[in-house]
């Protein structure tokens, strides 16, 4: 009995298999003509799953495999399908628009003609007409990968990869590890590589099928050998790709870690940690000397009001002999009355020197120590003007009419301004006085460390078309993030004097909170866009030596008026403590 049951089961299975392979037998109408169809079933798999086309099966006609447009477009792709009976045209819309006309072997994809291996046609099944077209065209047009399995009469398709919108690009630092973080709204697929070119080392990460909608974004790093990180849309066709690049001075150990859901990439560099192990004080004649024992490479200084000098040591951990994370050293100096220190945040040690009055100071690294010399400012000490000609060296800035380089033009103006200021009795300092590259962080740090009284950055403007022209000045918004430098007043005074000297289009003042030389400087700072290097009229002026002298004279006159009004007391350069606030009360300056 068991043998009979087993035999019957095997026969049923064979018959079922046969009926599945030759399940569809019917007379159909192709272009209105009867056709007896008796070919093995064609199955469709999308991402490994069977796709049921219902009562409109895929068909093989004249060596071409055809599929029903509506059911696959609507249920498979989520597309919209419209039929125009008058023109016998079917339109499929999703991300792109596809138009097919019955009887034609030409399809329109976003208006461009595409040749079909067989024409679109109406096939009548059970007295109802359906539009059929070649299977490969429909799937590949909507980004699917397609394979034909001849042995099993099977269409295997793979969905197009999802587009990843990169939503965030930032950096973080913790315990000697500096990280560049990239976040997307879908899983990230990436390739990585290293480019070494004349000592310039770049690590890149290419993110496939990705969109970065914010335009090129640069993050200045300047920690140990790390210079900066950049992200931009690398290409849009045939598939979008985003590239992130990390610039280094020399090779640093790193690793790339992807989150469990693959939506976040973290590129981590072992930059190491510096330690602040001691702070001491001595008097040397009229100078007060603060010695900070630290194997650090980077620090930043700023004067807060007239009674505090702040030194921030980055990538550093406080490791004092007593083990405390904050403390105070009472001193009896010429001007310094106390030195306070703390772990300001997880990667910065802050040292604050309290003074009896406004001081002049200099800070430098000597034999793994940070040395600060402080002296009381003399009543007749003249202001220190920091002049910053933009770009330079490997960074020519904007290229204008006739190949005119921004870096050359602004250097010429800056040297003329320096000459006027020196003759006028001012002290000056320049970020560069020749065609060399200076990174943005260094420019602001030099001015901060030198205790400059004002910061002037000189540039030329540029645009993608030659139409825009004129002069404008950018400043850090007063009150933005607690910054109470009177930048706008400073900008307005210089602008008024500049426009009296030159005859250019008046474009006024602009707020620039994201400009590095404005948001990282601690004294009143402005950025002057003298004229448009991409406009023929402005470019002709920028090349003219007399015009450059007029620009320099206008800026000089503004500086003179600014300090005159400061002395009279009608304006102020005050910077409030709120700029430097932190959650750690011990580290407030």
> What is the distance of C-alpha 24 from the center of its chain?
57
> What is the pLDDT at residue 574?
54
Strand ranges (E), 185-240: 190-197, 200-208, 210-211, 217-223, 226-235
Strand ranges (E), 326-383: 326-330, 336-345, 348-355, 359-366, 369-376
**Contact criterion met (CB below 8 Å) for 170 and 179:** no
**Please, what are the domains in the chain?**
2-77+119-158 (no CATH), 164-270 (2.60.40.3500), 274-378 (2.60.40.3500), 384-568 (3.40.630.40)
3-state helix, strand, coil in the chain (%, to 5): 20, 45, 35
> What is the pLDDT at residue 22?
40
Rounded to whole angstroms, the Cα distance separating 584 from 318 reads 14
Task: List b or e across 411-434, with b for residues whose CB sees 16 or more CB atoms inside 10 angstroms.
Answer: bbbbbbbbebbeeeebebebbbee
Name residues whose C-beta falls within 8 Å of residue 351's C-beta, 6 or more positions apart in sequence.
276, 279, 290, 292, 310, 311, 313, 339, 340, 341
Residue corresponding to tokens 């002057």: 528
> What is the pLDDT at residue 199?
67
Rounded to whole angstroms, the Cα distance separating 466 from 362 reads 45
> What is the pLDDT at residue 105?
92
Catalytic residue among 196, 250, 529, 561: 529
62 backbone φψ class: left, alpha, beta (φ>0; ψ -120 to 50): left
**C-alpha gyration radius of the chain:** 35
Active site residue 529: yes
Task: Kindly list the averaged pLDDT for each block of 10 residues, start to end, along the chain of length 589.
Answer: 42 35 66 82 89 88 87 88 92 91 92 91 88 90 88 88 89 83 92 82 92 88 84 86 91 90 92 87 92 83 80 87 90 93 88 88 85 77 90 91 94 95 92 90 86 93 93 90 84 96 94 90 93 96 95 96 89 49 35
Q: What are the structure tokens assigned to 473, written together?
A: 């000045």
- What are the distances in angstroms from CA 398 to CA 401, 414, 506? 10, 17, 21
DSSP 31: T
Torsion of CA 6, 11, 17, 21, to 10 degrees: 170
Torsion of CA 498, 501, 507, 509, to 10 degrees: 10
Q: Which residues pair with 406 in a beta bridge?
A: none
Phi, psi for 305 (deg, rounded to 5): 65, -150
Determine which helix (DSSP H) or strand (DSSP E) holds 559, and give its type and residue range: helix 545-568
Pairing verdict, β 427-430 and 43-46 = unpaired
Q: Which residues pair with 335 in a beta bridge?
A: none
Q: What is the full DSSP assignment across 119-143?
A: --EEEEETTEEEEEEEHHHHHHHTT
Q: What is the 3-state secondary structure (H, E, C) of 467-488?
A: CCCCEEEEECCCCHHHCCCCHH
SS3 for 300? strand
Q: Which of 403, 462, 463, 390 is nearest to 431 (CA)?
A: 390
Rounded to whole angstroms, the Cα distance separating 229 from 222 reads 10
Q: Cα angle vertex 42, ends 38, 47, to 5°?
A: 175
Number of alpha carbons in the 13 Å side-chain half-sphere of residue 145: 6
CB atoms within 10 A of CB 256: 14
Alpha helices in 170-329 (DSSP H): none
Residue corresponding to tokens 């910061």: 455
> What is the pLDDT at residue 176?
76
Q: What are the structure tokens assigned to 258, written together?
A: 């992807």
Q: What are the structure tokens assigned to 17, written together?
A: 């298999």
Interhelix angle for 545-568 vs 406-423, to 10°? Answer: 50
Name residues whose C-beta falls within 8 Å of residue 379's C-beta, 6 or more positions apart in sequence.
none
Q: Which of 535, 504, 542, 305 is nearest to 412 (CA)?
A: 542
Q: Write down how long the chain is.
A: 589
Give me the sheet containing 217-223, strands edge to edge: 190-197, 200-208, 241-248, 226-235, 217-223
Q: What are the structure tokens assigned to 250, written together?
A: 């020399």
**Contact criterion met (CB below 8 Å) for 40 and 21:** yes
CB atoms within 10 A of CB 9: 10
Strand ranges (E), 32-88: 33-38, 43-46, 49-50, 59-61, 64-68, 80-84
Q: Which of 456, 454, 457, 382 is nearest to 422 (CA)?
A: 382
**Contact criterion met (CB below 8 Å) for 126 and 172:** no
**Contact criterion met (CB below 8 Å) for 181 and 135:** no
SS3 for 466? coil
Residue corresponding to tokens 């910054």: 483
Residue corresponding to tokens 């079917």: 90
> What is the pLDDT at residue 582?
32
Rounded to whole angstroms, the Cα distance separating 358 from 129 reads 91
**Contact criterion met (CB below 8 Å) for 308 and 352:** yes
Determine which helix (DSSP H) or strand (DSSP E) holds 181, and give its type and residue range: strand 177-184
């Amino acid at each position: 009995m068991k043998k009979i049951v087993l035999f019957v089961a095997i026969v049923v299975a064979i018959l079922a298999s046969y009926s599945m392979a030759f399940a569809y037998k019917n007379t159909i109408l192709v272009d209105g003509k009867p056709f007896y169809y008796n070919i093995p079933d064609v199955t469709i798999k999308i991402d490994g799953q069977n796709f049921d086309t219902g009562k409109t099966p895929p068909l093989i006609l004249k060596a071409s495999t055809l599929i029903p447009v509506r059911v696959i477009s609507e249920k498979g792709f989520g597309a919209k399908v419209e039929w125009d009976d008058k023109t016998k045209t079917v339109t499929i819309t999703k991300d792109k628009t596809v138009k097919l006309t019955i009887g034609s072997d030409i399809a329109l994809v976003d208006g461009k003609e595409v040749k079909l291996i067989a024409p679109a046609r109406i096939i009548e099944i059970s007295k109802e007409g359906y539009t059929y077209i070649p299977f490969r065209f429909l799937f590949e047009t909507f980004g699917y990968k397609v394979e034909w399995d001849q042995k099993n009469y099977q269409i295997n398709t793979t969905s197009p990869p999802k587009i990843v919108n990169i939503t965030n690009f930032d950096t973080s630092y913790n315990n000697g590890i500096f990280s560049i973080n990239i976040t997307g709204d879908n899983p990230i697929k990436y390739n990585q590589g290293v480019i070494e070119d004349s000592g310039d080392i770049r690590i890149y990460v290419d993110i496939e099928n990705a969109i970065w909608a914010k335009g090129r974004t640069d993050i200045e790093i300047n920690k140990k050998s790390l210079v900066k990180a950049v992200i931009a849309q690398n290409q849009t066709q045939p598939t979008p790709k985003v590239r992130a690049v990390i610039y280094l001075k020399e090779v640093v150990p790193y690793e790339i870690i992807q989150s469990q859901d693959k939506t976040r990439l973290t590129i981590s560099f072992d930059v190491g940690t510096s330690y602040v192990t001691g702070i001491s004080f001595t008097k040397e004649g009229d100078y007060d000397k603060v010695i900070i024992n630290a194997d650090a490479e980077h620090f930043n200084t700023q004067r807060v009001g007239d009674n505090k000098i702040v030194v921030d040591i980055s990538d550093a951990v406080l490791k004092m002999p007593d083990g405390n994370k904050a403390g105070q050293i009472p001193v009896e100096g010429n001007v310094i009355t106390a030195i306070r220190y703390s772990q300001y945040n997880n990667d910065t040690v802050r040292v604050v020197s309290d003074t009896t009055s406004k001081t002049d100071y200099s800070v430098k690294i000597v034999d793994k120590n940070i040395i600060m010399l402080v002296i009381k400012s003399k009543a007749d000490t003249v202001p220190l003007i920091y002049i910053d000609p933009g770009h330079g060296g490997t960074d020519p800035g904007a290229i204008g009419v006739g190949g005119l380089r921004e870096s050359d033009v602004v250097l010429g103006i800056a040297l003329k301004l320096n000459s006027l200021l020196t003759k006028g009795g001012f002290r000056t300092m320049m970020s560069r006085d020749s065609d060399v590259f200076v990174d943005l962080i260094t420019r602001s740090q030099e001015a901060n460390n030198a205790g400059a009284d004002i910061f002037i950055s000189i540039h030329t403007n540029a645009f993608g078309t030659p139409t825009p022209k004129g002069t404008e000045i950018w400043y850090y918004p007063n009150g933005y993030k607690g910054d109470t430098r009177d930048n706008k007043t400073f900008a307005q005074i210089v602008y008024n004097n500049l426009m009296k000297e030159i005859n250019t289009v008046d474009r006024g003042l602009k707020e620039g909170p994201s400009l590095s030389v404005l948001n990282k400087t601690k004294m009143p700072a402005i950025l002057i866009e003298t004229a448009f290097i991409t406009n023929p009229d402005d470019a002709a002026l920028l090349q003219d030596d007399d015009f450059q002298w007029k620009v320099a004279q206008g800026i000089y006159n503004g500086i003179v008026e600014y300090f005159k009004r400061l002395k009279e007391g009608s304006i102020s350069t005050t910077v409030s403590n709120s700029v430097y606030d932190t959650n750690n009360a011990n580290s407030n300056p």
